Amino acid sequence: MSGRWAVPAGLLAGWAADRALGDPRRGHPVALFGTAMTALEGRIWRDDRRAGVAYAAAGAALGAGPVLLADRALRDRPAARAALTGAVTWAALGGRYLAAAGRDLGARVAAGDLDGARALAPTLVGRDPRTLDAAGLSRAGLESVAENTSDAVVAPFVWGAVLGAPGVALHRALNTMDAMVGHRSPRHERFGWAAARADDVGGWPAARTAAALTVLAAPAVGGSAAGALRTWLRDGARHPSPNAGRVEAAFAGALGVRLGGRNVYGERVEERPVLGGGPDGTAGRPPTPADLERAARLSLWVGGLAAVGAASVAATRPSRG
C-alpha cells in the first residue's frame, strides 16, 4: 500500500467497522479515557479557570499523544498506519449506536411506551426525561441525533482528513471532556470553561460540514434539500451553541419539522429559539416518532458522505502529512 493511501483507507475502514459492529463492547478507549479524566478532576479540581486549563491540556495530551507517537512510528509502514487509523476512527465514531438509539426511542414512543422511552432517553439526551411527553421525547431525540451527528460522526472524519489518526483522537478527547465538565453547573462553571471552549473550536468546522452534508443527504430520506439549506442559513445562528444550532436547523429543514422550545435540565430551564418553519414564516409542525426514525436514517447518510469526503481529502495530502 502506498503511504498516500494509509489515512484514507483507515478512515473508510473505521467507518465500515462502526457500521458493521458498532461500538467496541469491552475496554472502549473513550470509556477508559473518561475514567482517567474523572480521576484527574478529583485530584486537581478547583473553582478556577486556570485549573480547568491544566485539566483540558492534560486531557488533550493523554488522548492524542500516544496516537501521535504511534502514527509517527508507522510512517514507513502504510498498512500498519492504515490499521491504526481505522482502529482509532472506529473507537471515535458513534454513528451506528446513535442511529439505533434514535430509532429505539422513536419506536417506544410510537408504541405508547412512554415509561420505556423515558428510561431510554438519558442514553441519548441530556434533559430531564420526567418532564417530557410523547412530543417532547420525539423533539429531544431528534435534536440529539442531529447534534451528535456532528460531534460523533462528522467531526472525527473532518479532523481525520486533516491530521490523520491523531486528529481523530484529539477531537474525541476534547468532546469527551466537554461532556464531562463543559456543562454549566456550580462545580464546572469555571473549571469546565477551557474544555467547553476547546470543544467549540474543534466542533466549528464539523458542524458546518454536517449541515452541508445534511443538505446533500436530505432527498435520500424523502426530505427537502432546499428546506435544509434555507433553515440552516436562516435559523442556525439563533441557537445558543455556536455549533449545534447549525446542524439542528439543517435537520429541521430537511425533515420539515420545528425544533427548539422549552428544555428542562434538572432545576435549570432554558427557552430555546425555534428552528424550522416555512419560507413565509409559518411555523413548522412538531416532530413525530416517524420523524425520529427518518432522522436516524439521515444521520447514517450524512456519516457515509462524511467518510467518503474525508477519504478523498486525505488522499490529496502528501503522504508524510
Residues 6 or more apart whose CB falls under 8 angstroms from that of 229 comprise 215, 250, 253
153-177: pLDDT as tens digits: 999 999 999 999 999 999 999 999 9
In angstroms, what CA-CA distances link 208 with 220, 271, 315? 20, 24, 22
Question: In this structure, is residue 137 part of a structural domain?
Answer: yes
Mean pLDDT over residues 65-87, rounded?
Answer: 96
Contact by Cβ (8 Å): 18, 96: yes
What is the rounded distance in angstroms from the CA atom of residue 306 to the CA atom of residue 310? Answer: 6
Would you say residue 266 has pLDDT above 90? no
Q: Quick one: what percent of the chain has pLDDT higher than 90? A: 81
Mean pLDDT over residues 28-43, rounded?
Answer: 94
For residue 281, the model assigns a pLDDT of 62
Would you say residue 278 has pLDDT above 90? no
Question: In this structure, is residue 321 part of a structural domain?
Answer: no
Mean pLDDT over residues 257-268, rounded?
Answer: 79
Q: Indicate the pLDDT class of residue 270, thresholds 50, 70 and 90.
A: confident
Q: How many domains does the chain have?
A: 1
**Do β-strands 268-275 and 259-265 pair in parallel, antiparallel, or remain unpaired?**
antiparallel
Question: In this structure, is residue 52 part of a structural domain?
Answer: yes
Question: In this structure, is residue 320 part of a structural domain?
Answer: no
Q: Indicate the pLDDT class of residue 271, thresholds 50, 70 and 90.
A: confident
Most confident of 6-15, 239-248, 280-289: 6-15
Query: Which residue segment(s) compose the domain that 126 sits in?
Result: 3-315
Picking from 113, 178, 101, the residue whose alpha carbon sits closest to that of residue 140 is: 101
146-158: pLDDT as tens digits: 999 999 999 999 9
Average pLDDT, the chain: 92
Question: In this structure, is residue 284 part of a structural domain?
Answer: yes
Would you say residue 319 has pLDDT above 60? no
Picking from 295, 285, 294, 293, the residue whose alpha carbon sits closest to that of residue 110 is: 293
Least confident segment among 40-44, 127-131, 289-293: 127-131
Would you say residue 321 has pLDDT above 50? no
Most confident of 14-23, 178-187, 258-267: 14-23
Hey, which bits of the chain come out as E strands?
259-265, 268-275
The answer to whether the Cα torsion of 223, 225, 226, 231 is positive or negative is: positive
Q: Indicate the pLDDT class of residue 27, thresholds 50, 70 and 90.
A: confident
Mean pLDDT over residues 207-215, rounded?
Answer: 98
Residues 6 or more apart whose CB falls under 8 angstroms from that of 98 comprise 124, 145, 148, 149, 152, 153, 296, 299
For residue 168, the model assigns a pLDDT of 98
Q: What is the DSSP string of 36-84?
A: HHHHHHHHH--SSHHHHHHHHHHHHHHHHHHHHHHHHHTTT-HHHHHHH
pTM of the prediction? 0.93
What is the rounded distance in angstroms from the CA atom of residue 95 to the CA atom of residue 157? Answer: 12
In angstroms, what CA-CA distances link 217 with 130, 170, 173, 178, 197? 33, 27, 28, 28, 30
111-149: pLDDT as tens digits: 999 999 999 999 898 788 888 899 999 999 999 999 999
